[in-house]
Structure 1
Amino acid sequence: MPITVVAIICVAIAWGALSIQNSWWTDPAQTPSTDQVTDDGMSTFTRAGVDYLTRQGVVRIDLRETAEPAASLGLPASGSQQVEPLVPVRAILLGDDGVASVELVEALTLTTDADSVTTVELRPVAPTSWTAAVGQLREDAETWGWREEDFSRLEEELTAASGASDGEYAAALPPVTANGMTIGAMVTIRGEDAPVGLSYTFSPAGG
């Protein structure tokens, strides 16, 4: 490769590195812009907003009655939008009576209606097995209120489905109400060598 071309490439790389070094991606003191968070610190789902929540490692979603309109979050007034951060993040959800959080979320889907967020589905990093998924849900039950009989039924349904299906099958815990939100959870088995799916849904209680 000619020396001139190599020099140009090196200058371009150096300029790009300098630009990133001076950007909000690497400056923890940088104040987020209005298209990255709302006035009260909730996440937005514009491209800039997703970049920002990825960098922060936290997505914040308000499901209270006083929440900002969906359109102001970069979401459709009625519809759904999937978000996949570059790395797993922590999800914090605000309900009218408290807060819930889920760790290592690698994808989320927000559903809206009448310019309000009506449902948030969170999909954490896949557990290694369905028993690991149920174990995680048992830990969540201490906060959110699922009962032992709910887990017995879940395990029975998964066991029965595994014998009746060679493909994908799933079973869900019943919805519970905690912190002013209705919370659901589902375990999905996609095959012998495929990762187990674990998902949570959150919606305003009574919504």
Structure 2
Amino acid sequence: MKLGDSVSGGTSVAALARKRARRAWIPAALLVVIICGVGFITARVNGSWWAVPVTAPSADQTATDGMSTFTKPGVDYFTRSGVVKMQLRPDATPPSDLGLPASGETVTTPLRPLEIRVLGPEGAFILDAVDSFTVWSENDHTVAVEATYAGNGEYGEAFALLERLGPNFGWTEADLAQLESDLVVDQRTTQGDRYSARIGPADAIGAHVSATISVDLTASGTELIFRVAVEAP
């Protein structure tokens, strides 16, 4: 058979060859598109503030004592650095100077999980992987911070974290056993699909430290919220 001869269906070998040649360009063209797409995404990421190296904060990004602020520059900085710093001390910077209300409740849900450091009068509470936190202020003093742990939603992981942190905050094995007992009781007596129990508060770092564990049967998830509080001056 010569190059110009026909095959079944009346299509010439030459025509088939030309079609194969055209199809051979398709993967190469797709590769160019994919490479260009990856290059575009990389350029977008490299050009965003997420990729900017963390440097020393400017004057409008933290308070004079190094604590986090809740102005736009302050939120941008602690989101990029991955660390939020708060004080529950009588001489701490007033909430009104941090971009918070003098009295009230402020809920923050960062763009990514953060580490939170709460400095009490006698020590610090540090928790990694926090996906939201709430700050309470009263008479221009910060009096409480709550932090929601961004775990995998499993009860075993949440309880293991409480066991690990317990010695630091005065929670005994008896307290942990009571927590599980209280959970069972609340599950039996609660009409809905969510039940919870609290451990503490115990006195640690010069503050009252407690934790609430909640189980949601509908969502098949466990929520763990830590609370650090002091008496208002």
Verify same fold: TM over 0.5: yes
The one of the two structures with greater contact order (alpha-carbon pairs below 8 A, sep at least 6) is 1
Identity of aligned residues (%): 31
2:195: which partner in 1?
169
Distance 1:149-1:206 versus aligned 2 partners, 3 A rule: farther
1:6: which partner in 2?
none
1:84: which partner in 2?
109
Distance 1:131-1:161 versus aligned 2 partners, 3 A rule: farther
Q: Quote the Cα distance in structure 1 between the aligned partners of 2:61 and 2:211.
A: 29
Taking the TM superposition and a 5 Å limit, the aligned residue runs for 1:54-133 are: 54-133=79-158
Q: Quote the Cα distance in structure 1 between the aligned partners of 2:91 and 2:51.
A: 30
The structure with the largest alpha-carbon Rg is 2
2:69: which partner in 1?
44
Pick aligned residue for 2:183 from 155, 158, 163: 158
Q: Which letter does structure 1 place at the counterpart of 2:135?
A: L
Q: Deviations over 1:95-146 (max 9, x none)?
A: 1111120110110000111011111000011443323222110111121110
Structure 2 gaps of 5+ residues are: 1-39
CA contact (8 A) 1:91 1:103 kept: yes
Distance 1:129-1:25 versus aligned 2 partners, 3 A rule: closer
1:3: which partner in 2?
none
Q: Quote the Cα distance in structure 2 between the aligned partners of 1:56 and 1:148.
A: 35
Distance 1:139-1:40 versus aligned 2 partners, 3 A rule: same
CA contact (8 A) 1:177 1:205 kept: no
Cα RMSD, aligned residues only: 2.5
Distance 1:45-1:179 versus aligned 2 partners, 3 A rule: same
Once the two structures are TM-superposed, the CA of residue 37 in structure 1 deviates from its matched residue by 0.5
- Report SS of the residue matched to 1:196: strand
Q: TM-score, normalised by structure 1?
A: 0.83
Q: Quote the Cα distance in structure 2 between the aligned partners of 1:200 and 1:55.
A: 23
CA contact (8 A) 2:116 2:128 kept: yes
- Report SS of the residue matched to 1:86: coil
Q: Deviations over 1:61-113 (max 9, x none)?
A: 01111100000110001111111111101111111111120110110000111
Once the two structures are TM-superposed, the CA of residue 20 in structure 1 deviates from its matched residue by 4.0
Q: Deviations over 1:176-204 (max 9, x none)?
A: 11111211100011224332110011112
Once the two structures are TM-superposed, the CA of residue 47 in structure 1 deviates from its matched residue by 2.1
